[in-house]
Amino acid sequence: MVWIQRLQSVLNSAARLVFSARRSDHITPLLRELHWLKITERIQLRLCVLAYRCLHGSAPPYLAGTLHLTSIIEACRRLRSGSTSTLFMPATKRSSLGDRAFPVAAARAWNTLPVSLRTVSSDLTFRRELKTFLFKFHSQTTELRVTL
C-alpha cells in the first residue's frame, strides 16, 4: 500500500503548509484542528457514501446491482443478520485482488458502521454523521495507542 502512504504524505504536507509547521512537528494535532481525515478514513468514507447511494437508488445501476442486503438474499433470511441492515459480502478467492473489489470493500466498510448511522434517511445527514463518526473513532484509537 505504497500509494496510500504517498497520499498520506501529501495530505500531511498540505496540513503543514496551512499551519506553517516544521517537518518535525507532529501531524495528528494539525489534522485534528483542520478536521481532516487520514487517507484510510477518507477511503472508508467514500466507500460508505457509495454504498448508501446504492441502497437508496441514487448511484449508477452498474454499482447498485453489485450490493445486496442480507435480508433480501434467501440463504441469509433465517440468520440473525437477515433482520439487520447489513450488506452481503461475496466470497473471494484471492485476498489480494478480490478483497479490493467494490462489492466486498463496500460491504465490509458498511457493515462496520453502527446501526444508527446505517438507518439515516438523508444523504447529507448521512455524510455529516459518517465523517463525525470516523473522526471521533480515529481520535479514540489514537488516544488508546498513546495511553498504551
Tell me the backbone φ, ψ of residue 117, rounded to 5 degrees.
Answer: -80, -35
Confidence check: pLDDT of 50 > 90: yes
Residue pointed to by grid coordinates 455524510: 127
The alpha carbon of 10 is separated from its chain's Cα centroid by a whole number of angstroms, namely 20
Backbone region of residue 25 per phi and psi (left: phi > 0; alpha: psi in -120 to 50; beta: other values): beta
Residues contacting residue 23 through CB under 8 Å, at least 6 positions apart: 16
CB 40 within 8 A of CB 4: yes
CB 126 within 8 A of CB 120: yes
Confidence check: pLDDT of 45 > 90: yes
Confidence check: pLDDT of 114 > 80: yes
Q: What is the pLDDT of residue 86?
A: 87
Confidence check: pLDDT of 145 > 70: no
Q: What is the average pLDDT value for the chain, to the nearest integer?
A: 85
